[in-house]
Structure 1
Amino acid sequence: MQFLPRLARHFFAVALLLLCAGAALAQPTGKAAKGRSRYTFAQRDSESPYVKNLTKNTDEEQDVDGSFTRLGYRSYTDLLTEITHLKKLHDWADTTYQRRVAAIPPGGTLVVIVHRQGPKGVEMSNLTLTATDKAGKEVFTQTLAPATGRFFGRDLYQGKAVIPFPRMDPQELNVSIRDAKLYQTFDYTLALPAAATE
């Protein structure tokens, strides 16, 4: 009779040990476990004047762990200026120009560029982008569409996604890009300019 409770305790102890071991294995390691380093002061993006980096995200780091993740933003006005320049350059017909203008998202576009190690590392659907306002209210979220990257150099591959953004009042948003494979989150601020009149 005492044998059954002892056997049950033994099985319970083994099950608990396996559960703890599984939880330990599921935890991210290295930089992912510690989280990304943050800048003392937000750093303006070198290519997009609307974006500032909050988490350290440099070319040097991509050589270490293949985690380069860049957010860019192109406003409606920027895109319209580019299309107007292309119309003059290529001598487009008015119908072509109007079609291109009509295709511009009213809130501009977000551009996400990543460098990852290995061809399987650049699966864009691993990324979820979330934007919140100053009050912490979520105003936009999107898991990126499945796409693979192209060879970038050495063992790095580059992926790129262009995301239509909704029209919003001028404001500063907090934007985070979560990589489900790396267990890392990249944080930015995005200063939305005044929307152009269409």
Structure 2
Amino acid sequence: MVRRLLTICLLSLLVGTAMAQPTGKAAKGRKRYTFAQKDAVSPYVQNVTKNTDEEQEVDGSFTRLGYRSYTDLLTEVNALKKLKDWADTTYQRRVAAIPAGGALLVTIHRQGPKNADLANLTLTVTSKDGKEVFAQTLEPGNGRFFGRDLYQAQRAIPFPKMDAQELTVSIRDAKLYQTFDYILNLPAAQ
């Protein structure tokens, strides 16, 4: 009887650890492009990890990184000033709020509202020589309904001012056990 009890405990322990391991695509990781692909939305970003709308249809996860330079953000504020006829104080406040190094824009699509929590993401930026330049775990925030059972969440992250260079950006999703890799080509400051 003791032997049977030990066997049952051992089997339940093995089954429990097997269930805790990631399965399917999460266990294998994301496929990678042979050559980095330019992003259709952001001219500064190249996608290293296969992360397309077709893949979203298969596993319900999509992560996109965008970058808006200081010049792009300033141009947008100037256009809004003309459209909305802002007072000088409003314009000055908006210009002062623009991050000196621009902003990274992280957009995710996930199945179910609980999976679209941005707190699951950790963003790490490294230089070509492998030194970590910037790292941040995103603040919690749920997404909004996007269609079918997909939810979208978005966050703009202020980026520090740097010289023009090529950086590697990794976004790690702790819930999916997946990493999304990008190449960010910082423009020269103007």
Band of TM-score, shorter chain: over 0.9
Once the two structures are overlaid, the 10-residue window that deviates more, 57-66 or 9-18, is: 9-18
Of 130, 154, 176 in structure 1, the residue corresponding to residue 170 of structure 2 is: 176
What are the equivalent positions in structure 2 for 1:37-56 lying under 5 Å apart? 37-56=31-50
Is 1:78 equivalent to 2:72 in the alignment? yes
Match of 1:57 in 2: 51
What are the equivalent positions in structure 2 for 1:136-151 lying under 5 Å apart? 136-151=130-145
Residue 24 of structure 1, CA deviation: 2.6
Secondary structure of residue in 2 paired with 1:193: coil
Match of 2:88 in 1: 94
Match of 1:165 in 2: 159
Secondary structure of residue in 2 paired with 1:146: coil
Normalised by the length of structure 1, the TM-score is 0.89
Match of 1:5 in 2: none
Deviation per residue, 1:115-134 (Å, 9 max, x gap):
00011111110000000000
Residue 27 of structure 1, CA deviation: 1.5
Q: Aligned AA for 1:107? A: G
Question: Highest Rg: 1 or 2?
Answer: 1
Of 177, 180, 188 in structure 1, the residue corresponding to residue 182 of structure 2 is: 188
Residue 12 of structure 1, CA deviation: 8.8
Secondary structure of residue in 2 paired with 1:105: coil
Q: Aligned AA for 2:156? A: V
Residue 26 of structure 1, CA deviation: 2.2
For the aligned residue pairs, the C-alpha RMSD in angstroms reads 2.0
Residue 181 of structure 1, CA deviation: 0.5
- Percent of residue pairs identical: 74
Is 1:34 equivalent to 2:44 in the alignment? no
After TM superposition, where is structure 1 displaced by more than 2 Å over at least 4 residues in a row?
9-26
Deviation per residue, 1:117-161 (Å, 9 max, x gap):
011111110000000000111110111110001110111110101
Match of 1:108 in 2: 102
Match of 1:6 in 2: none
Once the two structures are overlaid, the 10-residue window that deviates more, 13-22 or 29-38, is: 13-22
5+ long unaligned stretches in structure 2: none
